[in-house]
Structure 1
Amino acid sequence: MRQKTVDHPRTEPTADPLENLSDNDRLLFHAFGWGESRPVPHTLVHHAFEHHAAAAPDAIAAEHRGERITYGELNRRADRLARILAGYGVRRGDRVGLFLRRGIPMLTGILGTLKAGAGYVPQDVRIATEPQLRHIIATAGTRVILTLSDLADRIPAPEGHTCLTLDTLPDPPAGPAPEEDFPPPEPGRAEDTCYVLFTSGTTGNPNGVRITHGNVCNILLGEPGGLGIRPGWRVAQLLNIAFDMAAWEILGCLSHGGTLVIRDEDLADTVREVEVVIATPTVLGSIDPASARRIRRVAVAGEPCPRPLADRWARLCTFHNACGPTETTIVNTMQRHEPGALRLTIGRPTPNNTVYVLDEHRRPCPIGETGEMWAGGAGVSAGYLDNPRLNAERYAPDPFLPGNRLMFRTRDLGRWTPDGELEHLGRTDDQVKVRGFRVELDSVSAALEVVPGCTRAATIKLDDRTLVSFVQPTAVDPVEAAAAVAAALPYYCVPARVYPLPALPSTSRGKIDKAALLRIARTEGIAA
């Protein structure tokens, strides 16, 4: 259960990694690709929470279904849980399963695990299958799992594991529990695991990504990642707890003294009562801005954002379009979008992070040319658990930073604009061949999203000659939509059919479910 060091390949850097660039592009490579250098106020994210618990113990930390908990009470419950975990042998560097559903006990589990020196491994038991949970337990090396009493029978805990139900733990005492009850946790460090998230894998089993406290503190404890959250602001918790953007909601709120408003079934009721929303574009697109006048900040990430959606929200509040895979810690680029902006981009690298646009030989592309985005700096995670092959494929020595740093291959395509912002141009795995031509599916969808009335679009490949697109809502004219693609892109990019839907299907993590769209296409006989 002890934390393992992940081995990554090491190669000798070339004498001049920028040798293929002009003198001007050499200057812009650094000017554009380096985020601002800033100090981080804490090395452990729960220390930021403890600061607010000490400063304002009676402030409301969270609410859910009419229940509220103050910062002081949540801190006492988390301290109590940390000592209980220590009593079960949890030590610094261990990992604790957090297999439950969203609610206030979830917060006790997160903070108690962190205070014990361990990292938490979150899963929504109502969604994850038993084989997935077994794989996650084995890969993460958990020996203690936190859950709820009505979910305990769903946990496939192996022999020797301990399952603790957070809703039946003893209430915390009014004062500190006697220290002799349980051994105190060891002091933590920035390189310790904060959480492990499991992303979808190509073999069917999800891959565990280890995110450190240093990774999390870097993005959440400064701006723009902090989203201006301050004591008293209410932050929505909308997303699946196994999704990395849920950590942005939860830890981002509690590390700044805000009140976390945990959603119930009705998402609309939650967003009416908050100042801050963090969501995927798919989730945000389901929210009526007219019913959310209290919102001051919105941030989206996880998938490309339609320009009309960004413009709509940017007229009402401060709107950030962001990007970054789990492996670079939530997001590593952000743009504050304005409705009249020339273009919607994913902005610039966040503080202490770097982004490089490289060609297939990992050489920097000239400014304005399309390449693959690699991420460096403080956000680069500690790697995949027990997967040396994937570590070697996706992480590489960073030739542009000193000190044996690593960079991460995002598989996102991008290019620098003349003013130093990144345009996201889809993913390398979304590039398909149609009639022998290379097509970026996201570019087709983006052309559809400028059609009047279209709020969301997605495109899939059916066979080597056929693309099919889906738009929402059903009022969108399919003929007009196909014509918009024909006007903007080459003929081989035009979908064979544009199929209007009331709403595009989404995954449990709030992204467009392209597998479901493929099933719809086959059911409707679109391929024919």
Structure 2
Amino acid sequence: MTSVVDPQARSTDTLLESAGLPAGDRRLFRQYGWGPARVVPREAVHKAIERHAAVDPAAIAVEHEGRVLTYGDLDRHADRLAAHLVTRGVRVGDNVALVLRRGIPMAVGILAILKAGAAYVPQDGRVTRPAALKHILATTRARLVLTQSDVPVALPSGQTSLDIDSFMEECGDFAPVNVDVPPGRGCYVLFTSGTTGMPNGVVITHANVVNLLHSEPGDLGIRPGTVVGQILSIAFDMAAWEILGCLTHGGTLLIRGDDIEETARRVDVLVATPTILASLDPDRCERVRTVAVAGEPCPRPLADSWARTKTFYNGCGPTEVTIVNTMQAHRPDADLLTIGKPLPNNTVYVLDEVGRPCPIGEIGEMWAGGDCVSAGYLANPDLNAARYAPDPFLGGGRMMFRTRDLARWTSDGQLEPFGRTDDQVKIRGFRVELDSVSAVLEQVPGCTRAVTLKLDSRTLVAFVQPATVDPGAARRAVAETLPYYCTPEVVYPVPELPMTSRGKIDKRLLTDLARNKENAG
């Protein structure tokens, strides 16, 4: 009988052996680092939405401030708009900007752009700066900007736009388009903050998105009739999890107004950043059965408070690896709050500074591989070369992405996070992980959120929420837990930590506030 050995497995074993890993660690590197293999549809994202519209056109697809849109109407409006986009010259592989505020036109615009074969480029029309928008439109070479009549958008000269809400009110015949969209084409282009002051555009493909949404636990258990909250900024990648995750499974997308909690109390599934979740009371959100957080470190007390009565997922993954590439269902009695394991068809490698596999249990940098890895940055070859690399473990021309997140494998194969490489700072010559300091502060009685910042080469400061936290007790907790150089010079209690438009802690604003306080003192 002939034994068939996977050549790539043999190649990986050779790489691991050359890295000096003992046999046991070589086995666990593969066992822990490879997510389960699952079969997912090889199709464009919107095909699943179209199927729900055909099967149950009367089901409610979207609700916003008392107005509802059925799946049948959503599909019809999107078909008509997609046909118009095609007549305007939009083709497969193009990019169409979506610059508006959350609402029903947002859902119609997304679906129409996908039906036309293009990728949507989401921006919040109320907060996007004109200079940033000009850069985004130039980088994506967007053929058209879809917006809405009540959102003033300052467009560059020569750029054409279309108000979705006005278009939806018009009548007229149209020929439905049936565009073949390969799964490897762009689904959306998400812009992340750049080191030069201008954002970087990341191309996320249909295949990337389908892999997350059509496998457990990334589907979040959403099924027809499930109500999913849409509370995040459309310019934030986790909003795609809310919107596309809901509509591809036949759920009802409940788009929030000004009151986030009013929406959260009415939904079954809630996707949020820890900062936003900390503003909500789990006891007042009795209907919620599933919560997923990502985007920034989650405090253990916050996770415990929601996991007592809900299914609570803690996840991790930058935009470049399609929203999240690891998740873990947390329990209050768990020893650790981890970010879990690689999701289906994904891989995670914990590597040292020169790219060698770390022994199991040793802290290293996470590199992500598999179907989550996006198509890269638009018009930025230098950044692509710095952050993406050929995957030596999967081979076959696959790429892996350098996340800059630090973690180690636990003994049972989960990833314990240790902040980011760019959150490591030098204080008095010593290396300090800012997230580790914040994690200690969040264990202080009464503290729900904390953030630690570097002011200069000798000074750390911290902000804690709420204002009733004892700053002296907070400093003592750090001094008793971490080395002396990790203790903040000052801890400022505040009623509530400020948020960016994407629902994360606004560290830039807090740094300015700390400097002002220091100068005033």
Aligning the two structures, in what range does the TM-score lie when normalised by the shorter sequence?
Answer: over 0.9
Indicate the residue corresponding to 1:304 in structure 2: 297
Indicate the residue corresponding to 2:391 in structure 1: 398
- What's the offset of the Cα at 1:336? 0.2
Greater mean deviation of Cα atoms: 514-523 or 341-350:
514-523
Q: CA deviation digits over 1:63-112, x for unaligned, max 9? A: 00110000010011111111000010101111101011100000000000
1:158 and 2:157 are equivalent in the alignment = yes
Indicate the residue corresponding to 1:98 in structure 2: 98
- What's the offset of the Cα at 1:496? 0.8
**Paired residues of 2:113 and 2:119 also in contact (CA < 8 A):** yes
Indicate the residue corresponding to 1:4 in structure 2: none
**Paired residues of 2:327 and 2:341 also in contact (CA < 8 A):** yes
Q: CA deviation digits over 1:231-252, x for unaligned, max 9? A: 1111110000000000000000
1:215 and 2:208 are equivalent in the alignment = yes
Cα distance in 1, alignment partners of residues 162 and 154 from structure 2? 11
1:358 and 2:358 are equivalent in the alignment = no
Indicate the residue corresponding to 1:488 in structure 2: 481
Superposed counterparts of 1:307-386, under 5 Å? 307-386=300-379
Q: Which amino acid aligns with 1:154?
A: V
Indicate the residue corresponding to 1:148 in structure 2: 148
Cα distance in 1, alignment partners of residues 278 and 459 from structure 2? 28
Q: Which amino acid aligns with 1:416?
A: W
**Paired residues of 1:306 and 1:455 also in contact (CA < 8 A):** yes
Cα distance in 1, alignment partners of residues 235 and 101 from structure 2? 10
Cα distance in 2, alignment partners of residues 382 and 527 from structure 1? 48
Indicate the residue corresponding to 1:59 in structure 2: 59
- What's the offset of the Cα at 1:497? 1.1
1:89 and 2:96 are equivalent in the alignment = no
Cα distance in 2, alignment partners of residues 195 and 345 from structure 1? 29
Picking from 9, 12, 17, the partner of 2:15 is: 17
- What's the offset of the Cα at 1:150? 2.4
**Paired residues of 2:12 and 2:393 also in contact (CA < 8 A):** no
Cα distance in 2, alignment partners of residues 14 and 234 from structure 1? 44
Picking from 507, 510, 513, the partner of 1:520 is: 513
Greater mean deviation of Cα atoms: 303-312 or 515-524:
515-524
- What's the offset of the Cα at 1:171? 4.4
Q: CA deviation digits over 1:376-398, x for unaligned, max 9? A: 00000000000000000000000
Q: Which structure 1 residue ranges, 5 or more long, are not aligned?
A: 1-12
**Paired residues of 1:80 and 1:172 also in contact (CA < 8 A):** no
- What's the offset of the Cα at 1:445? 0.2
Q: CA deviation digits over 1:317-360, x for unaligned, max 9? A: 00000000000000000000000000000000000000000001
Q: Which amino acid aligns with 2:460?
A: L
Q: CA deviation digits over 1:122-163, x for unaligned, max 9? A: 101110000000000000011111001122x5231431x321
Picking from 432, 442, 460, the partner of 1:439 is: 432
**Paired residues of 1:91 and 1:117 also in contact (CA < 8 A):** yes
| Percent pairwise identity | 63
Cα distance in 2, alignment partners of residues 282 and 188 from structure 1? 37
**Paired residues of 2:80 and 2:174 also in contact (CA < 8 A):** no
Indicate the residue corresponding to 2:38 in structure 1: 38
Q: Measured at CA, do residues 15 and 40 of structure 1 come closer, stay the same or move farther in structure 2, by a change above 3 Å?
A: closer
Cα distance in 1, alignment partners of residues 439 and 108 from structure 2? 42
Cα distance in 1, alignment partners of residues 170 and 388 from structure 2? 43
1:121 and 2:112 are equivalent in the alignment = no
Q: Which amino acid aligns with 1:300?
A: V
- What's the offset of the Cα at 1:186? 3.0
Cα distance in 2, alignment partners of residues 170 and 467 from structure 1? 53
Say which SS state the counterpart of residue 114 (structure 2) adopts.
helix
- What's the offset of the Cα at 1:464? 1.2
Cα distance in 1, alignment partners of residues 414 and 157 from structure 2? 49
**Paired residues of 1:76 and 1:172 also in contact (CA < 8 A):** no
Cα distance in 2, alignment partners of residues 115 and 376 from structure 1? 29
Indicate the residue corresponding to 2:29 in structure 1: 29
**Paired residues of 1:521 and 1:527 also in contact (CA < 8 A):** no
Cα distance in 2, alignment partners of residues 41 and 398 from structure 1? 24
Q: Measured at CA, do residues 170 and 494 of structure 1 come closer, stay the same or move farther in structure 2, by a change above 3 Å?
A: closer
Q: Which amino acid aligns with 1:40?
A: V
Q: CA deviation digits over 1:408-458, x for unaligned, max 9? A: 000111100010000110000100011111000000000011111100000
Cα distance in 2, alignment partners of residues 226 and 112 from structure 1? 23
Cα distance in 2, alignment partners of residues 321 and 40 from structure 1? 23
Picking from 234, 254, 257, the partner of 2:247 is: 254
Indicate the residue corresponding to 2:7 in structure 1: none
Cα distance in 1, alignment partners of residues 81 and 154 from structure 2? 20
- What's the offset of the Cα at 1:178? 4.7
Indicate the residue corresponding to 1:5 in structure 2: none
**Paired residues of 2:208 and 2:322 also in contact (CA < 8 A):** yes
Say which SS state the counterpart of residue 525 (structure 1) adopts.
helix
Cα distance in 2, alignment partners of residues 526 and 364 from structure 1? 46
Say which SS state the counterpart of residue 58 (structure 1) adopts.
coil
1:425 and 2:418 are equivalent in the alignment = yes
Cα distance in 2, alignment partners of residues 457 and 485 from structure 1? 12
Q: Which amino acid aligns with 2:305?
A: R
Cα distance in 1, alignment partners of residues 375 and 455 from structure 2? 37
Q: Which amino acid aligns with 2:382?
A: R
Q: Which amino acid aligns with 1:352?
A: N
Q: Which amino acid aligns with 1:108?
A: V
Cα distance in 2, alignment partners of residues 172 and 355 from structure 1? 49
**Paired residues of 1:157 and 1:163 also in contact (CA < 8 A):** no
Indicate the residue corresponding to 1:168 in structure 2: 166
Say which SS state the counterpart of residue 252 (structure 1) adopts.
helix
**Paired residues of 1:376 and 1:398 also in contact (CA < 8 A):** yes
Q: Which amino acid aligns with 1:375?
A: A
Q: Which amino acid aligns with 1:166?
A: I
Q: Which amino acid aligns with 2:33?
A: G
- What's the offset of the Cα at 1:168? 1.0
Cα distance in 2, alignment partners of residues 378 and 150 from structure 1? 39
Q: Which structure 2 residue ranges, 5 or more long, are not aligned?
A: 1-10
**Paired residues of 2:444 and 2:474 also in contact (CA < 8 A):** yes
Superposed counterparts of 1:227-306, under 5 Å? 227-306=220-299
Q: Measured at CA, do residues 418 and 510 of structure 1 come closer, stay the same or move farther in structure 2, by a change above 3 Å?
A: same
